[in-house]
């Protein structure tokens, strides 16, 4: 697997990287960070001393790391939001902060990499792998869509009654995540899902 610098879509997600159990070498990439001494260090009055410390310290040099590719992140977030909305329907458990998956899904669904993945065999491979892992470790709380298909998921294609329950949580979370107020409306999110429905 070759090293590459990845240009991620413009997300502002509150979520960290997936746990090690979810990493799949078929959906991973390696990334080499930029030199930590590059950029602003040279404009500081202590630039010479800072650069000297960096030159002597092994733990601040560039290194390779394996990352979860955002193609898989997109699929995992569909499973996550589907399960949370299903719990809302089954148990009246509020969606709350889990509505944060929606703006992430919106941004990821707009990338060419995700759309190509949905039209490929990789999509089924990721779904099956996620399903196996979840049934093995989280069977009691796992709520997958029927036949692992999201075409009729209430989370992605809610009726008007359910939408009225989801949208306030979506707006509340987006106001916290996007301080400039620049985020897609819930209508725009649902329209994007509709564009991909036959692939889901």
**What percentage of residues in the chain have a pLDDT greater than 90?**
61
What range defines the domain where residue 125 resides?
70-199
How much is the pLDDT for 68? 75
- Domain's final residue, options 67, 92, 123: 67
Same domain, yes or no: 167 and 147: yes
Q: Which of 20-24, 37-41, 101-105 has the highest mean pLDDT?
A: 101-105
Among 41, 67, 93, the domain-final residue is 67
- Angle (deg, nearest 10), helices 186-195 and 101-109: 50
Mean pLDDT along residues 65-94: 92
Q: For 133-161, what is the mean pLDDT?
A: 94
Comparing 117 with 18, which gets the higher pLDDT? Answer: 117
Any domain includes 21:
no
Do 62 and 95 fall within a single domain?
Answer: no
75 and 63 share one domain: no
Same domain? For 129 and 151 the reply is yes
* CA distances to 13, 43, 80 from 142, in Å: 23, 52, 9
11 inside domain: no
| CA nearest neighbour of 99 among 159, 148, 28, 158 | 158
Contact between residue 88 and residue 163 where contact means Cβ atoms under 8 Å apart: no
Both 110 and 132 in one domain: the answer is yes
Q: 44 and 102: one domain?
A: no
85, 40: one domain: no
Q: The tokens 């809302």 sit on which residue?
A: 88
Q: Do 44 and 135 fall within a single domain?
A: no
**Looking at the structure, do residues 88 and 178 belong to the same domain, yes or no?**
yes
81 found inside a domain: yes
Mean pLDDT to the nearest integer, 177-198: 94
Position 158 in a domain: yes
Reported pTM? 0.69
Q: Summarize pLDDT for 50-73 with one digit per residue, the tens.
A: 445 455 666 677 878 887 788 999
Report the domain count for the chain.
Answer: 2
Q: Among 39-48, 92-101, 109-118, 131-140, whose mean pLDDT is lowest?
A: 39-48
Full DSSP string of 3-57: B------S---S--PPPGGG--GGGEEEE-PPPTTSSGGGGSTTHHHHHHHHHH-
């Amino acid at each position: 697997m070759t090293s590459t610098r990845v240009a991620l879509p413009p997300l502002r997600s509150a979520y960290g990287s997936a746990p090690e159990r979810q990493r799949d070498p078929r959906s991973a990439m390696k990334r080499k960070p930029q030199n930590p001494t590059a950029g602003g260090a040279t404009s500081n009055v202590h630039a010479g001393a800072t650069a000297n410390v960096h030159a002597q310290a092994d733990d601040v040099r560039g290194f390779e790391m394996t990352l979860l590719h955002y193609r898989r992140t997109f699929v995992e977030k569909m499973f996550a939001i589907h399960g949370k909305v299903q719990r809302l329907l089954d148990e009246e458990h509020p969606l709350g902060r889990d509505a944060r998956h929606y703006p992430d899904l919106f941004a990821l669904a707009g990338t060419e990499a995700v759309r190509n993945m949905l039209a490929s065999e990789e999509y089924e491979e990721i779904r099956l792998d996620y399903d196996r892992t979840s049934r093995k470790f989280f069977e009691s709380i796992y709520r997958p869509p029927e036949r692992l298909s999201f075409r009729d998921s209430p989370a992605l294609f809610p009726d008007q009654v359910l939408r009225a329950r989801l949208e306030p949580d979506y707006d509340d979370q987006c106001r916290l995540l996007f301080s400039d107020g620049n985020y897609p409306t819930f209508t725009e999110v649902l329209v994007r899902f509709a564009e991909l429905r036959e692939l889901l």
